[in-house]
């Protein structure tokens, strides 16, 4: 394995002297906290923002104060339906015994205002009904014959934290692993052909399989460094910002951390091999980019879709699909705070097989005569 | 019979639809500069790639110091040093790091590594730019670096493929002097070129390839025949007078 170590060391030196790779890692480390801070601020602003209600008619006694307390500001208008299109967030016509609400569902502010209004009106109606019953000497408790008592099986704050992490963490991890090693993989394959060092490398007695292993190890390392940089910066940012709604800070469970490391190593290895194989097909760095860029979208697209499906409960066959399986395993570990060994085993085998097959393909490509004669 | 450094027998090779070599044979001996001449497309580079195990013969055999290129390619690669036509160097490594990398891959022992690298740097007068990144070197300096990495493991057979084609007069002369020096050290030097003037001055024996076949082979003076210059004989042989 001496040749593998020699190639690994040389590739690492070259990668660390390559501005493209260093900039990609630095951007990853900086971009993640910025994105999270912006998301946090937007969420906080949405929760505390005051929305305007345009109204006609007489405001029922006490309702105005209740609306103001929930950041809903009343403003008299001539036509609430017309005003709700642009002038105000929501329109109301107070009629005796009836409230007509006008809102545009395509406006996010109208939806939020409408939800708040429904809650306030519900509370106001219940309070009015209770007061009327009490005046007549009737227990207001008859309005709620069944009492709903909730017993959450886990901390709602932790659940919110897990939901947030299960969405962001797999996405950032996979994106950074794939994009972090992208430049290094192409530089060590297509780059060798482009700068005409490949022939000299193949003229050495070092077995080509060992040379390739050294390259895969270097690309895997740099992919992991990029992922670690992004995730560490993500957690540093998360320690400084609150969950949407201000219900606490986000933490990752003890179970998820080692699992995340294991999955990261698997993805980094398998995708280093895949990108090296594609890079070996290319004659130039630019051509390599054309081959590898679609790979990112092909792999990240199904994974992203899954993240948007709430409570998606896949069968074991889904865990055979590389990247998608990594997302699912990570999501399961974060949300349920436990490891399903069957799905983890299938995921491990799938990603190792992807890496091994890609390494074999890269080796076949690396040893074919056309590699030299076509360049 | 003395074992040839390189023995090529009835070598044939087709690349794509093009039959590049059509049964060529020659032998190069230790302590000589052997010229492989021919116009562009004659098959010189393909021949060198077959000798250096980068390509595999369709038929025929190549032996380097008794090792068959098909049966023992790694043994062959341990014994050869090739200066390719395209001088590719690792731009983000220094000249010294480039040489060290190839020395390590060529199985130079760790205990000998520094001495060997320093010796090559000394021999090729690379001191002034040894610790400079290769991306900042001139063509002549890169060519010296290419030679240094090809000889750092002290191979018995040296092959040069058009080594002076992109060099200025001074750098070309240094390469030529190096080939003569290597020959004097008992190395077998195979010099592939279409610059006949260089070949005439340097080569002890030559083989002229044309359209994948050997059209002349022997001591340089013998191939030149009665012609005033090798170029005249060459043009006669390739039918382009």
Contact list, A214 vs chain B (CB under 8 Å):
none
pLDDT given at position A245: 52
Chain B CB within 8 Å of residue A368 CB: no
CB atoms within 10 A of CB A156: 11
Q: Per-residue confidence at A237, pLDDT binned at 50, 70, 90?
A: confident
The number of CA neighbours under 13 Å toward the Cβ of B176 is 18
Do the Cβ atoms of B90 and A6 come within 8 Å?
A: no
Q: How confident is the model over A137-183, as pLDDT tens digits?
A: 888 888 888 888 888 776 666 676 777 777 777 887 888 888 888 88
Chain A CB within 8 Å of residue B80 CB: yes
Contact list, A202 vs chain B (CB under 8 Å):
54
Nearest to B84 among A192, A199, A369 (CB): A199
Q: How confident is the model over A103-142, as pLDDT tens digits?
A: 998 888 888 889 989 999 988 988 888 889 989 888 888 8
Q: How confident is the model over A316-339, as pLDDT tens digits?
A: 998 998 888 888 888 888 877 778
- Percent over 90 (pLDDT), chain A: 23
Residues A71/A49, Cβ–Cβ less than 8 Å: yes
Of A263 and A240, more confident: A263
Instruction: Give the distance from residue B200's alpha carbon to the nearest chain A alpha carbon, in angstroms.
Output: 28
Chain B CB within 8 Å of residue A204 CB: yes
Per-run averaged pLDDT (10 residues), chain B, 241 residues: 87 92 94 92 93 94 95 95 89 96 95 94 91 92 91 94 81 87 94 88 92 91 83 78 44
Q: Per-residue confidence at A368, pLDDT binned at 50, 70, 90?
A: confident
Nearest to A204 among B88, B89, B105 (CB): B105
At A56, phi and psi to the nearest 5? -130, 160
What is the arrangement of strands in the sheet containing B33-37, beginning at the earlier edge strand?
A: B80-83, B157-161, B188-193, B33-37, B205-210, B213-219
Q: How many CB pairs under 8 A join A and B?
A: 73
Residue of B nearest to A371 (CA): B54
Do the Cβ atoms of B84 and A205 come within 8 Å?
A: no
Q: Per-residue confidence at A79, pLDDT binned at 50, 70, 90?
A: very high
- Measure the CA–CA gap between A14 and A185, rounded to whole angstroms: 12
Q: Which of A22-36, A353-367, B47-61, B155-169 has the lowest mean pLDDT?
A: A22-36
**Residue range A352-364: mean pLDDT, rounded:** 90
Does A266 have pLDDT greater than 70? Answer: yes
Residue of A nearest to B52 (CA): A203
- Measure the CA–CA gap between A52 and A68, rounded to whole angstroms: 10
Do the Cβ atoms of A200 and B88 come within 8 Å?
A: yes
pLDDT given at position B241: 44
Q: Which of residues 14-33 of B touch A (CB under 8 A)?
A: 15-16
Strands B80-83 and B157-161: parallel
Chain A CB within 8 Å of residue B210 CB: no
Give the total residue count for chain B. Answer: 241
Q: Where are the alpha helices (DSSP H) in chain A?
A: 2-16, 19-48, 63-69, 80-83, 108-135, 156-187, 190-194, 198-202, 208-240, 256-281, 285-307, 324-336, 341-367, 370-373
Do the Cβ atoms of A14 and B92 come within 8 Å?
A: yes
Contact list, A373 vs chain B (CB under 8 Å):
15-16, 55
Do the Cβ atoms of A369 and B56 come within 8 Å?
A: yes
The rounded mean pLDDT for chain A is 85
Nearest to A362 by CA among A110, A190, A194: A190
Nearest to A203 among B82, B86, B101 (CB): B82
Nearest to A204 among B49, B106, B146 (CB): B106
At A149, phi and psi to the nearest 5? -120, 115
Instruction: Give the distance from residue A204's alpha carbon to the nearest chain B alpha carbon, in angstroms.
Output: 6
pLDDT given at position A248: 58
Contact list, B58 vs chain A (CB under 8 Å):
none
Of B103 and A302, more confident: B103
- In chain A, what is the greatest distance between 2 CA atoms, to the nearest angstrom? 101
Contact list, B145 vs chain A (CB under 8 Å):
none
Helix axes A208-240, A2-16, angle to 10 degrees: 50
**Residue range A260-274: mean pLDDT, rounded:** 88
Does A247 have pLDDT greater than 70? Answer: no
**Residue range A334-355: mean pLDDT, rounded:** 89
Contact list, B75 vs chain A (CB under 8 Å):
205
Of A4 and A370, more confident: A4
Contact list, A6 vs chain B (CB under 8 Å):
101, 104-105
Chain A CB within 8 Å of residue B136 CB: no
pLDDT given at position A351: 93
Stated pTM of the model = 0.79
Contact list, A20 vs chain B (CB under 8 Å):
none
Q: Which of residues 10-49 of A touch B (CB under 8 A)?
A: 10, 13-14, 17-18
Work out the burial of residue A358: count CB atoms within 10 Å of its CB; fewer than 13 is exposed, 13-18 middle, 19 or more buried: buried
Chain A CB within 8 Å of residue B104 CB: yes
At B158, phi and psi to the nearest 5? -115, 135
Residue of A nearest to B81 (CA): A203
């Amino acid at each position: 394995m001496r040749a593998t170590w020699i190639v690994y060391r040389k590739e690492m030196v070259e990668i660390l002297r390559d501005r493209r790779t260093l900039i990609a890692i630095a951007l990853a480390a900086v971009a993640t906290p910025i994105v999270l801070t912006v998301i946090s601020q937007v969420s906080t602003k949405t929760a505390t923002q005051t929305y305007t209600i345009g109204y006609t008619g007489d405001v029922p006694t006490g309702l105005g104060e209740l609306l103001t307390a929930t950041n809903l500001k009343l403003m008299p208008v001539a036509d609430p339906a017309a005003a709700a299109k642009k002038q105000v967030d929501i329109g109301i016509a107070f009629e005796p015994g009836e409230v007509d609400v006008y809102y545009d569902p395509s406006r996010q502010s109208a939806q939020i205002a409408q939800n708040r209004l429904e809650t306030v009106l519900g509370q106001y109606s219940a309070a009015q009904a209770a007061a009327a019953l009490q005046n007549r000497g009737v227990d207001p408790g008859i309005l709620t014959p069944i009492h709903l008592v909730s017993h959450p099986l886990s901390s709602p704050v932790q659940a919110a934290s897990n939901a947030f992490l299960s969405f962001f963490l797999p996405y950032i991890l996979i994106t950074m692993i794939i994009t972090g090693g992208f430049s290094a993989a192409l530089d060590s394959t297509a780059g060798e052909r482009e700068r005409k060092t490949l022939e000299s490398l193949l003229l050495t007695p070092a077995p080509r399989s060992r040379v390739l292993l050294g390259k895969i190890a270097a690309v895997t390392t740099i992919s992991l460094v990029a992922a670690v940089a992004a995730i560490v910066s993500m957690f540093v940012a998360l320690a400084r910002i609150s969950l949407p709604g201000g219900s606490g800070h986000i933490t990752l469970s003890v179970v998820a951390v080692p699992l995340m490391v294991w999955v990261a190593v698997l993805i980094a290895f398998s995708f280093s091999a895949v990108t090296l194989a594609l890079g070996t097909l290319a004659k130039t760095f630019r051509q390599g980019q054309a081959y590898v860029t679609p790979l990112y979208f092909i792999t990240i697209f199904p994974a992203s879709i899954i993240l948007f499906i709430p409570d998606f409960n896949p069968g074991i066959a889904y865990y055979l699909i590389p990247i998608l399986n990594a997302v699912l395993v990570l999501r399961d570990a974060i949300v349920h705070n436990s490891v399903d060994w069957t799905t983890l085993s299938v995921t491990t085998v799938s990603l190792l097989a992807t890496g091994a097959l890609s390494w074999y393909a890269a080796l076949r490509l690396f040893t074919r005569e056309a590699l030299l004669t076509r360049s | 019979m003395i074992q040839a450094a390189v023995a090529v027998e009835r070598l044939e090779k087709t690349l794509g639809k093009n039959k590049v070599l059509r049964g060529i044979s020659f032998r190069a001996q230790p302590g000589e500069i052997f010229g492989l001449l021919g116009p562009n497309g004659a098959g010189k580079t393909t021949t060198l790639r077959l000798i250096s195990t980068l390509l595999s013969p369709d038929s025929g055999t190549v032996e380097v110091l008794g090792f068959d290129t098909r049966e023992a390619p790694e043994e062959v690669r341990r014994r050869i040093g090739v200066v390719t036509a395209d001088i590719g160097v690792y731009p983000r490594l220094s000249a010294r790091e480039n040489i060290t990398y190839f020395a390590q891959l060529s199985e130079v022992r760790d205990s000998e590594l520094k001495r060997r690298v320093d010796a090559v740097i000394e021999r090729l007068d690379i001191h002034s730019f040894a610790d400079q990144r290769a991306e900042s070197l001139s063509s002549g300096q890169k060519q010296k670096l290419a030679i240094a990495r090809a000889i750092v493991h002290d191979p018995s057979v040296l092959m040069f493929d058009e080594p002076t084609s992109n060099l200025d007069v001074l750098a070309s002369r240094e390469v030529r002097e190096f080939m003569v020096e290597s020959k004097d050290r008992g190395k077998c030097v195979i010099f592939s070129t279409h610059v006949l003037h260089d070949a005439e001055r340097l080569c002890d024996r030559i083989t002229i390839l044309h359209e994948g076949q050997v059209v002349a082979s022997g001591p340089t003076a013998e191939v030149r025949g009665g012609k005033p210059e090798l170029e005249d004989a060459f043009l006669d042989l390739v039918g382009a007078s």
